[in-house]
Structure 1
Amino acid sequence: MYTPDVAPIADNLTLSALVAALPLVTVFVTLGLLRWKAHWAGLTALGVALLVAILGYRMPLDLAALSATQGAAFGLFPIMWIVLMAIWLYELTVRSGRFEDLRRVIDTVSDDPRIQAMIIAFCFGGLLEALAGFGAPIAITGVMLLAIGFSKMRAATVVLVANTAPVAFGAIAIPILTAGTLTGIDYHHIGAIVGHQTPLIALFVPTFLAFLADGLRGVKEIWPIAVVVGVAFAAAQWVSATWISVELTDVISSLVGLLAAVLMLRVWKPKGGEAARARLLGERRREDEELAVEAAAAGRAGKATTTAEATRASATDGTTADAADAAGAAGTAGVGLTGSRVFLALFPYLLVIVIFALAKLWTPLTSALAATDVKIPWPGSDGRILTAAGEVSTNTVYSFQWLSSPGTLLLITGIIVAAVYRMKPQDALEVFTRNVVKMRFSILTVVSVLSLAYVMNQAGQTITIGTWIAGTGAAFAFLAPILGWLGTAVTGSDTSANALFATLQQTAALKAGLDPALMVAANTSGGVVGKLISPQNLTIAATAVGLLGKESAILRKVVWWSIGMLVALCLLNGLQSNVLAWMLPQP
């Protein structure tokens, strides 16, 4: 039997917290300062966590190792299972050729590049975040913005800022599912609280994009549609997360935002679209000339890599070269589109909504799926690990949701889509196996980070840190989003940030007399605005648009947007812990 000691180092809480934080410091230093590959940083931090658990917390070697294996299992299934299935479903549309039809459908909505940026980066990017996440929306929409005339730097900036509000519910709400699993708090309740925070960001993001696309002139000329899309997306996100489905929140809000844009354009026409396009193309030419001069000065003249080749070289986070090439192949708006082609282009996303709505909202099916879940007491550790309060830990039971998992529902969706698209089974299988190979380092990263989280949680390291942080008392409510922001900024993933800090947030909240669900939700919401400054995502954006090596320049463009949104979330979370508590959903 192992009982965690809150202050195992010299019986001193502050010193123990510093030692307990060493694995997190390792992540920050190796990724943020040393710029290591994410999987090496994760594995190194896991090694540090094991050493701290065994030597500092005197956790038996076998229990520490078993904690790591349970975290690895959770990282593989359901986390990476969901991600793999989501990306597989998306890439079926690429292999079938329907992705280009979808791009053309977007082109027919408006010929104003600033509104196209809003639709592509925010609405369509939100759909990609809902189904795939992990950098795919940034790379794909970045190349699409290049196709409509944006300069490389402007395209990278726009897609990074757009990839904020949808992140909390990305990849079928994996960040929230992870937080719920680690803390034992109902993930529906966590998601509902997040749905009462991130809409504040979503409300203003389209206006931010108008400014980023064309400055104050752009805001002045297209603010009506920016307001309409922002309100529609935010309202749908609030309603879906609270009453419909946490998993489907991004799908629903993105489609509602897109529908709002389409309807708005029927009754309102923007001004200055052609002039804006001319300015963007002029900026693009100047940028190309400057980059050519730089390349020549560095002895690289004539070796410039095309956008498609740069994206192929990156192949990061499940984003495929085929997908990027399809996105970058700018065709004529509406060419060859018929009603059936439009329907087939939208079919996968409509089918996702139908299947998940049935699985989550139709009680008989929901109950039947839940009945198939298998609870597995983790061999060797179940019953041997206690909480700091001396009670048997329930975190040593692994839930194998082989049928009810969102990943399995996406598998069913993908099979139907492949059949409707008349794809050969061997082609669909080849797409999947190729993605597994491409994502091997992403899989290793997620597995190592979740192993790290389980070791820290079961050894008691997060309890120590949380107890120490709780010393700030009620002020912690204003600081909680910062942890999620830092975690996502370092790891590039809101899921990983929750794996690292969700239990810490819960512990600190309980010690400070705050609502633990609110603090865990704040971790998720804070991570939303940390993603755009993550070195991982900066690299994805830079590679996709052909600015590899210019990540620091992109960072300087977006960092203040990130900090500004973080401050707003900190104020909102602090107020929701007291004077605005009335606006929070009840469990």
Structure 2
Amino acid sequence: MHWVQNYDPFGNLAVSFFVACIPIIFFFWALAVKKMKGYVAGLLTVLVAVLVAIIVFKMPVSLAVSATVFGGFQGLWPIGWIIVTAVFLYKLTVASGHFKIIRDSIASITEDRRLQALLIAFSFGAFLEGTAGYGTPVAIAGGLLVGLGFNPFYAAGLCLIANTAPVAFGGVGIPILTSAQVANMDVMAISQMVGRQVPLLSLFVPFWLVFIMSGWKRTIEVLPAILVCGLSFSLTQFITANYLGPELPDITSAIASLVALTIFLKVWKPKTIFRFKNEKSEDGLVSGSEVTEQAATQSSNMHHSLKQIIQAWSPFILLVGIICIWGGLDSVKKALNSLTMMISVPFLDGVIDKTQPIVNESVPYEAVYKFDLLAATGTAILVACLISKYLLQLSWKKWIQTFRNTIKELTFPLIMVVSVLGFAYIENYSGMSATLGLGLASTGVAFPFVAPIIGWVGVFLTGSDTSSNALFSNLQKITGNQIGVDSTLLVAANSTGGVTAKMISPQSIAVATAATGLVGKEGSLFMFTIKHSLFFLAITALITLLQAYPLHWMIP
């Protein structure tokens, strides 16, 4: 069997575009309006997408089923594997009793929830995004915030929004490297262009996080700390992206902001300490929206030795080291990848031809499942979990019991992830994703404003800025050449626009709810993040439009 994708089944691109939107509209409706549980909404959306692919886009049933199953397996490995191991690592610190020391060590820097969010959700989360990517920062940082006493809903929402800043350079720069490869462009030029867009968001995100939590008045109270955090992060991100390349911007900027903010908080304190409404402090005080600095200081007056603090933090210190070795050392990567199995997907690999009208070329669509048992990031995290058993002095019985409980708690989130990836793959292999991209690409001189929206759609569909870039980078490049806009800007905009959708990606929401104990609340979390996602997208689209015309000098 051989099948050629048809991106305009109705012979009218506007009508085909609208029909291709039906599964996405259904998913929005299921989560936001009907507030279905995430895994239910995901499974029903897959069914709708498969029906549209078969009935409208004339995709053979066998290919539609193969593509959906292929995506589901991608949801289990490597993504589901990362979710399980990341949440497991956090739960080991709780099971061993060491998380209380972690909580106290952070409180010794500041008990203010606003500043803790900057340290954990923004800076530490960015470091995890830069080294591991996928759902690791949301899972780890979300769990940490809940353990510190954050309202679980806010912990999940804040980590999703904070993850906007580092996504473009996540996983040691993989999204940028992918876009350069797909579009056959200079990787440094794309890195520089993204480095002249994303830092503008990175500067704003810390302010927005605190504003969401506490309102305008309480945000101004900690504005000096916000500026230290945002400026140190965005400036380092700009310098690294423009002069060193795409691999290190997240790591260097995260370290810079962590160090700068920690040092700053040693010499500066807010006048009042913000806590969530009805939250109990360590001394039993119940706060409204804040307590006095004196009361907060008394509640955190718990001393632990340096040895105890290092032992408590050792799983996360170890995690960072292992991930850096796993993904940062070429010799290690080569050895681990040597055992990777590349499995051709039956009835799918090379059977479909992609023939984009704009590109005007036909190429076979590969479908190869990569099973990297040792090289996977989740396996690196599992190694950290194994060593942490000894560092935290846990018995094997307790370790295994914690793992079982983790699997049990993550069952429904994993079903959602599997269904969402099945949805993403049926969209791609049926040609519906390309129809969406082509429809948006027909906007002419206004396309620079639309370019980030294409990236946003790509990340929403796939949950990955890397996948979005693989899907749409070449489309961005060729459209730029047709309308006379520098293609470097548009390819970069695909990645920059994509980061604003990470917070509403069903995959990310599933990770966030799993890490914070909010399984079943995916619809509410989606409604919380969607307005922020659209706001950030509008900012990104405006930046791209300005850089395309009056600020053209910013393009490298």
Taking structure 1 as the reference length, the TM-score comes to 0.74
Residues 498 and 523 in structure 1, CA contact (< 8 A), matched pair in contact too: no
Residues 345 and 369 in structure 2, CA contact (< 8 A), matched pair in contact too: yes
Q: Could you tell me which residue of structure 1 aligns to residue 500 of structure 2?
A: 526
Of 19-28 and 122-131, the range deviating more from structure 2: 122-131
Q: Which secondary structure state, in structure 1, belongs to the residue aligned with residue 58 of structure 2?
A: coil
Q: Could you tell me which residue of structure 2 aligns to residue 3 of structure 1?
A: 4
Query: Deviation of residue 211 (structure 1)?
Result: 4.9
Counterparts of 2:379 and 2:456, CA distance in 1: 30
State yes or no: 1:464 paired with 2:435: yes
Of 512-521 and 344-353, the range deviating more from structure 2: 512-521
Residues 446 and 496 in structure 1, CA contact (< 8 A), matched pair in contact too: no
Residues 413-562 of structure 1 correspond to what in structure 2 (within 5 A)?
413-482=384-453, 496=463, 505-506=472-473, 508-510=475-477, 512-513=479-480, 514-515=487-488, 517-528=491-502, 530=504, 555=528
Residues 228 and 261 in structure 1, CA contact (< 8 A), matched pair in contact too: yes
% identical equivalent positions: 28
Counterparts of 1:408 and 1:549, CA distance in 2: 27
Counterparts of 2:381 and 2:243, CA distance in 1: 22
Residues 125 and 163 in structure 1, CA contact (< 8 A), matched pair in contact too: no
Counterparts of 1:539 and 1:218, CA distance in 2: 27
Query: Deviation of residue 104 (structure 1)?
Result: 0.6
Counterparts of 1:278 and 1:55, CA distance in 2: 51
Which digits, 9 at most, give the CA deviation of each residue in 1:82-115, with x for residues without a partner? 1212112222222122221111111111355654
Q: 1:373 to 1:126 in 2, by over 3 A?
A: same
State yes or no: 1:67 paired with 2:34: no
Q: 1:243 to 1:69 in 2, by over 3 A?
A: farther
Indicate which of 128, 142, 164 corresponds to 2:161. Answer: 164
Q: Could you tell me which residue of structure 2 aligns to residue 387 of structure 1?
A: 354
Query: Deviation of residue 521 (structure 1)?
Result: 0.8
Residues 39 and 419 in structure 2, CA contact (< 8 A), matched pair in contact too: yes
Q: 1:396 to 1:250 in 2, by over 3 A?
A: same
Which digits, 9 at most, give the CA deviation of each residue in 1:240-284, with x for residues without a partner? 778889798766644542321221234x3335236x789999997
Q: 1:418 to 1:127 in 2, by over 3 A?
A: farther
Which digits, 9 at most, give the CA deviation of each residue in 1:11-36, with x for residues without a partner? 22222222222222221221222222
State yes or no: 1:230 paired with 2:230: yes
Of 16-25 and 165-174, the range deviating more from structure 2: 165-174
Q: 1:67 to 1:91 in 2, by over 3 A?
A: same
Aligned residues: 524
Residues 348 and 413 in structure 1, CA contact (< 8 A), matched pair in contact too: yes
Counterparts of 2:193 and 2:405, CA distance in 1: 37
Residues 254-403 of structure 1 correspond to what in structure 2 (within 5 A)?
254-266=254-266, 268-270=267-269, 272-273=271-272, 332-333=299-300, 335-388=302-355, 391-403=362-374
Query: Deviation of residue 77 (structure 1)?
Result: 0.9
**Alignment-mate amino acid for residue 3 of structure 1:** V
Residues 529 and 566 in structure 1, CA contact (< 8 A), matched pair in contact too: no
Q: 1:498 to 1:112 in 2, by over 3 A?
A: closer
Q: 1:53 to 1:500 in 2, by over 3 A?
A: farther
Q: Which secondary structure state, in structure 2, belongs to the residue aligned with residue 527 of structure 1?
A: coil
Of 416-425 and 503-512, the range deviating more from structure 2: 503-512
Q: Which secondary structure state, in structure 2, belongs to the residue aligned with residue 369 of structure 1?
A: helix
Residues 96 and 421 in structure 1, CA contact (< 8 A), matched pair in contact too: yes
Q: 1:362 to 1:178 in 2, by over 3 A?
A: closer
Query: Deviation of residue 184 (structure 1)?
Result: 7.2
Q: Could you tell me which residue of structure 1 aligns to residue 26 of structure 2?
A: 26
Residues 485 and 529 in structure 1, CA contact (< 8 A), matched pair in contact too: no
Counterparts of 1:466 and 1:485, CA distance in 2: 11
Which digits, 9 at most, give the CA deviation of each residue in 1:170-228, with x for residues without a partner? 79947986998899749998888666544323323333455566655545543322211
Q: Which secondary structure state, in structure 2, belongs to the residue aligned with residue 97 of structure 1?
A: coil
Q: 1:449 to 1:211 in 2, by over 3 A?
A: closer
Q: Which secondary structure state, in structure 2, belongs to the residue aligned with residue 427 of structure 1?
A: helix
Query: Deviation of residue 2 (structure 1)?
Result: 0.7
Counterparts of 1:363 and 1:95, CA distance in 2: 35
Counterparts of 1:137 and 1:416, CA distance in 2: 20
Residues 176-215 of structure 1 correspond to what in structure 2 (within 5 A)?
185=182, 197-209=197-209, 211=211
Counterparts of 1:376 and 1:481, CA distance in 2: 33
Q: Could you tell me which residue of structure 2 aligns to residue 569 of structure 1?
A: 540
Counterparts of 1:279 and 1:25, CA distance in 2: 35
RMSD over equivalenced CA pairs, Å: 4.6
**Alignment-mate amino acid for residue 225 of structure 2:** I
Residues 99 and 345 in structure 1, CA contact (< 8 A), matched pair in contact too: yes
Q: Which secondary structure state, in structure 1, belongs to the residue aligned with residue 46 of structure 2?
A: helix
Residues 467 and 507 in structure 1, CA contact (< 8 A), matched pair in contact too: no
Of 237-246 and 397-406, the range deviating more from structure 2: 237-246
**Alignment-mate amino acid for residue 319 of structure 2:** V
Counterparts of 2:218 and 2:289, CA distance in 1: 20
Query: Deviation of residue 481 (structure 1)?
Result: 3.6
Q: Could you tell me which residue of structure 2 aligns to residue 132 of structure 1?
A: 136
Q: Which secondary structure state, in structure 1, belongs to the residue aligned with residue 4 of structure 2?
A: coil
Residues 155 and 516 in structure 2, CA contact (< 8 A), matched pair in contact too: no
Q: Could you tell me which residue of structure 2 aligns to residue 96 of structure 1?
A: 96
Counterparts of 2:287 and 2:301, CA distance in 1: 26
Counterparts of 1:226 and 1:164, CA distance in 2: 15
Residues 103 and 147 in structure 2, CA contact (< 8 A), matched pair in contact too: no
Q: Could you tell me which residue of structure 2 aligns to residue 141 of structure 1?
A: 145
Q: 1:287 to 1:455 in 2, by over 3 A?
A: same
